[in-house]
Amino acid sequence: MISERLVIKVGTNVLTQPNQQLDYNVIHQIVEQIGRLRQEKHRVVLVTSGAAGASYGLGNFEGQKKNLVRRQMMTAVGQPRLMQIYSDFFREHNIPVAQALLTRSDFGNRERYLNIHNTLEGLLMMGTLPIVNENDVVVTDALTFGDNDYLSAAVASTIGANRLFLLTAADGFYLGGDPELNPSANIQPEVARISQEMWDSCGATLSKGGRGGMLSKLKAVEMVASFGIESYIVSGKQPGVVPRIMAGEALGTRFLPTEKRLKTYRQWLRFGALTSGRIVVDAGAEKALGNNKSLLPAGIDKVEGNFNEGDIVEIRNRGQEKLGVGLSNFSAEALTAMIEGSRPITRSEEAIHRDRMLLL
């Protein structure tokens, strides 16, 4: 069997019981699966939710009226307990573990992105299992992934994963919505390209106890598909589900890659949506970008957000359509000064070089 790189994301609803407390039996069987995968020489990264659920019984958080602060308090208390549980179970398989708490902004900064890549790569090479979660204590609503589905997509991209498994409470992706509400909904065994009907089937509902839902999972698989990574939405309650799929059994919903694997640098640029900076260009600049030209300050209509030199920014046209992302050679303040005329522009200056740009 060929060794693969796998990212396994486990959702809150998989790890918890109806009372929102951790389900130790489920955690144990997930650990068993990862133990089997490692015996087969696969390199695995676990992206886990459940820190808030692990805080039950360890404090009374109801006195905190702000939802964000209450969640941050619960995860701060529950994260050490969650890691201890994983550590104890993985010790039975002689698997050492490491914790990585990441934020959305970590993937938008090139230096921090490379640090994440190098650390995860080093841990995998030495046989340690990285366990990743979002660092809820330091994030704000504006800078959070919002759920771990998109975080798992970011991790899969960073390590060059072959497959991403999203373990959820559902058996797979159902066209037509929740089968409990719509008896005519049917599971999709394989998806080559995500259709509008699939997006419509997601609705706006969230997972009970979690912050994601089928919509966030579809966004995550769409992202990794564009990176050349295969992904699955499957039931995390089903024993041995990941090793069984790896052995060729058809379970859940399989999403095929839509693009060839991008180079690491261009994958990182694709995560430019994780920044708050935005550049709006005029029609002439839009046409030039389509002809593989660099973006010049003279073609910029306005600058939005606050970003620094070297940050990723979105590029949009006057109709607010996203054209792509790129690495800015100037801060937002400097670019604003250029287009307002308070700072002179030399002919050789480029706001974003064509080699540091990814058009969509």
Interior/surface letters 285-322, b for 16+ CB within 10 angstroms, e for the rest: bbebbeeeebbbbebbeebeeebeeebbbbbbbeeeee
Q: Give mean pLDDT, residues 309-326.
A: 86
Q: Are residues 208 and 325 in the same domain?
A: no
| Domain boundary, last residue among 234, 267, 300 | 267
Longest dimension (CA), the chain: 66
> Which domain does 291 fall in, by range?
275-359
Q: Are residues 228 and 162 in the same domain?
A: yes
How many domains does the chain contain in total? Answer: 2
Q: Are residues 326 and 208 in the same domain?
A: no
Mean pLDDT, the chain, whole residue set: 86
Cβ atoms of residues 166 and 232 within 8 Å: yes
Secondary structure of residue 174 in the 3-state scheme:
strand
pLDDT the model gives residue 209: 43
Q: Are residues 58 and 134 in the same domain?
A: yes
Q: Using CA atoms of 333, 337, 338, 339 in order, give the dihedral in degrees to the nearest 10.
A: 100
| Domain boundary, last residue among 247, 267, 287 | 267
For position 285, which CATH number holds?
A: 2.30.130.10
pLDDT the model gives residue 139: 66
Q: What is the pTM of this model?
A: 0.80
Starting at the edge strand found earlier in the chain, the sheet holding 163-168 runs: 97-102, 129-134, 43-48, 5-10, 163-168, 230-235, 253-255, 190-191
Of 56-70, 73-87, 234-248, 282-296, least confident by mean pLDDT is 56-70
Q: Where are the alpha helices (DSSP H) in the chain?
A: 12-15, 24-39, 67-91, 110-125, 148-159, 196-202, 214-225, 241-246, 264-270, 283-290, 332-340
Q: Are residues 19 and 119 in the same domain?
A: yes
| Domain boundary, last residue among 267, 289, 321 | 267
Q: Are residues 68 and 208 in the same domain?
A: yes
Confidence of residue 206 (pLDDT cuts 50, 70, 90): very low
Q: Which residue has the higher pLDDT, 27 or 18?
A: 27
Q: Are residues 263 and 282 in the same domain?
A: no
| Residue 210 pLDDT greater than 50, yes or no | no
pLDDT the model gives residue 270: 67
pLDDT per residue as tens digits for the range 71-111: 888 888 889 999 999 999 999 999 999 999 998 778 877 78
Q: Are residues 318 and 172 in the same domain?
A: no
For position 120, which CATH number holds?
A: 3.40.1160.10
Secondary structure of residue 289 in the 3-state scheme:
helix
pLDDT per residue as tens digits for the range 34-48: 999 999 999 999 999
Confidence of residue 227 (pLDDT cuts 50, 70, 90): confident
| Residue 199 pLDDT greater than 80, yes or no | yes
Q: Are residues 260 and 300 in the same domain?
A: no
